[in-house]
Amino acid sequence: MKLIMLGSGGFIPTEEAQTACYMIPEHGILLDAGSGLFRFSEYLQTESLDVYITHSHADHTSGLFYLFGGFFKHLMGGAVPPIELERFQETMRAANQSLSAVRIHADESILPKLKDSYYPGMVWCALQAREELPGGGRLTHFLCHPAHPEIGFRLEWPGHSLAYITDTVAMPAAAYIEHIRGVDLLLHDCNGPDSSADIMAMVNHSHPTSVAQVAADADVKRLMLIHKNPLNWEITEDLPAARQIFPYLEIGYDGMEVEF
């Protein structure tokens, strides 16, 4: 199964990294809907899309504005003028129609706010304790920290599993470790270097060695560090120490394709 990083950044988009959006094209699944969502049209394989939202911050939701444009671009298929006006209008109608095949799944506490902020054309769904996924999979969610609204996701199919944790402080004995235990692939927030650990804790983000420790404690198979900091706060210097704790880690980047 393949995951595409449409946006691996956080906070604000940069030339290098759009904000949070991760796609599993064969099942039409998107995890978060940050600015990177605009790229979905390049990978679209399914008639419908299911978008799972971790929390309401703009860097995880602002891409919902680009759904219509993405469908429109996909349906135009690279056509350039001269184009018949009728065809153009028909494509607009079809793109609008495509919105009704997009289900946005979010905690019911944030659904009304999201619905008010973005297009009404999509289907808005209160996240269920267990979501059935195409291909015989399931998605479960959990609070990453009892004092914060961000939720984490675990997705499982026979032979494939993935967990996604963002905007969270990685720490020993974090309650969410049990929820991500043993997954094939962990995408985990890593927004700043170890030298900024105190700042990361204040802004509800993580640094490399703490994430590596969580990955080791959770006995996951592979770790991708995501939610890149837009202020050029490099984490590469910390990777040797982090790999001493958990060797199978990489830094995610926009356009990265990960088999799991």
CB 177 within 8 A of CB 165: no
Which is nearer to Zn ion, 167 or 217 (by Cβ)? 167
Which is nearer to Zn ion, 1 or 64 (by Cβ)? 64
Burial (CB count within 10 angstroms: exposed 0-12, middle 13-18, buried 19+), residue 101: middle
Which is nearer to Zn ion, 131 or 167 (by Cβ)? 167
Which is nearer to Zn ion, 10 or 28 (by Cβ)? 10
- Token digits of residue 157: 């199919």
Q: Report the residue number whose CB is nearest to Zn ion.
A: 10
SS3 7: strand
Q: Output the smallest distance, CB 135 to Zn ion, in A.
A: 28
254 alpha carbon, distance to own chain's centre: 12
Which is nearer to Zn ion, 87 or 148 (by Cβ)? 148
Which is nearer to Zn ion, 114 or 133 (by Cβ)? 114
Q: Output the smallest distance, CB 60 to Zn ion, in A.
A: 6
Comparing CA positions, the residue from 119, 160, 114, 107 lying closest to residue 137 is 160
For residue 29, the surrounding DSSP H or E stretch is strand 29-31
Q: Which residues bind Zn ion (CB under 5 A)?
A: 10, 59, 167
Q: Output the smallest distance, CB 85 to Zn ion, in A.
A: 41
Q: Output the smallest distance, CB 113 to Zn ion, in A.
A: 16
Q: Output the smallest distance, CB 227 to Zn ion, in A.
A: 6
Phi first, then psi, for residue 21 (nearest 5°) are -165, 125
CB 99 within 8 A of CB 122: yes
Comparing CA positions, the residue from 218, 235, 196 lying closest to residue 17 is 235
Q: Output the smallest distance, CB 115 to Zn ion, in A.
A: 20
CB 115 within 8 A of CB 139: no
